[in-house]
């Protein structure tokens, strides 16, 4: 059987082909799945999609009409998939329930320290042989307070790094993580977390209850010199409200690896086209903001685990086995 994989990055392609070798043929495309590209999947029983795929109702109907029976998404998040429609169409949907939490946690800290120590500005200056220190003043993390929203596997890994810095630990989640409690984390209401944290890092999934968890009220509750980091999902932050606060001169720094309107932008080269997203265009102009293109997960370790899980999901589908990765079992 030949599998069609959408949205494959050049670094991923040899890893995917190697993982499927001896099992199934795989055709890798660099285009992302959306309404325009969905017809390409006609005749393919199984497809694999990336995190930014459009799996809304119209796309799912096109896939089902073309004979697709199984969708293996190469990500943990699945807010881009209309699961109810998939179930009605008898489409089996699976995801990657977990991969290296260290990849995202370490990158979150990379962003936090990049904005704290003004690394981007400093590197840009030295390329022009400008070695002044003006405007590069950072601060120690030791002894300061970190607020972690979401203390699952990634949040725990992030917390362990914060503990290594010698920080006071505040957490917010629907359930306490015993490992975080053992590290000394105090679970508090998010309003208190926002008010006391010097660094706020987001590690919760995007759900109706968490959409814009960082809204205007949350932003205004934070310290004027706080650092905000989001490596989870763009929809957790009300970007328009964030831009308004940044324009008012607030926050020591903001590090974003995700953006709520990133679909159609991230993972693509728009350098010769420009973009018509005024909010993003304004966001990247702030000197205390670093925006990266959803790369926190992108390590050899994590990508390898994602691909291995995707292969397992396809094999399970063909063997009619169920696993924790299955979001919608096929009728």
Is position 262 annotated as part of the catalytic site? yes
Among 233, 245, 250, 260, the one annotated catalytic:
233
Q: Give the count of alpha carbons within 13 A of 330, CB side only.
A: 20
What the block records as the tokens of 7 is: 């949205």
Among 12, 196, 260, 262, the one annotated catalytic:
262
Is position 182 annotated as part of the catalytic site? no
Sheet containing 168-172: order of strands: 186-187, 168-172, 145-149, 199-202, 227-230, 253-256, 289-291
Q: Write the DSSP assignment of 29-85 as a string of letters.
A: -SSPPSTTTGGGGTT-SEEEE-TT--BSHHHHHHHHHTT--EEEESSS--TTB-HHH
> What crossing angle do the helices spanning 101-116 and 153-165 adopt, rounded to 10°?
40
Active site residues: 233, 262
């Amino acid at each position: 059987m030949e599998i069609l994989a959408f949205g494959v990055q050049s670094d991923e392609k040899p890893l995917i082909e190697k993982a499927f070798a001896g099992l199934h043929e795989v055709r890798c495309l660099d285009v992302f799945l959306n309404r325009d590209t969905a017809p390409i999947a006609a005749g393919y029983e199984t497809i694999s999609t990336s995190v930014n795929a459009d799996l809304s109702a119209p796309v799912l109907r096109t896939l089902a009409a073309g004979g697709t029976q199984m969708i293996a998404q190469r990500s943990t998040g699945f807010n881009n998939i209309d699961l109810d429609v998939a179930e009605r169409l008898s489409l089996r949907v699976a995801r990657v329930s977990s991969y290296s939490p260290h990849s995202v946690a370490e990158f979150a800290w990379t962003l936090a320290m990049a904005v704290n120590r003004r690394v981007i500005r400093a590197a840009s200056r030295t390329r022009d042989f400008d070695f002044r220190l003006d405007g590069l003043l950072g601060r120690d993390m030791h002894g300061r307070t970190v607020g972690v929203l979401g203390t699952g596997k990634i949040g725990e890994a992030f917390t362990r790094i914060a503990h290594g810095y010698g920080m006071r630990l505040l957490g917010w989640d629907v359930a306490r993580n015993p490992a975080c409690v053992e590290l000394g984390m105090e679970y508090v209401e998010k309003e208190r977390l926002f008010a006391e944290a010097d660094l706020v890092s987001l590690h919760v999934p995007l759900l109706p209850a968490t959409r814009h968890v960082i809204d205007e009220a949350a932003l205004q509750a934070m310290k004027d010199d706080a650092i905000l980091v989001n490596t989870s999902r763009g929809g957790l932050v009300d970007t328009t409200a964030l831009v308004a606060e940044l324009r008012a001169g607030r926050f020591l720094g903001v590090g974003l690896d995700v953006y709520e309107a990133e679909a159609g932008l991230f993972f693509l080269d728009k350098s010769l086209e420009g973009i018509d997203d005024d909010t993003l265009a304004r966001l990247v102009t702030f000197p205390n903001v670093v925006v990266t293109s959803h790369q926190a997960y992108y390590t050899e370790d994590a990508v390898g685990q994602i691909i291995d899980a995707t292969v397992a999901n396809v094999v399970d589908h063909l063997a009619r086995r169920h696993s924790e990765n299955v979001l919608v079992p096929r009728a």
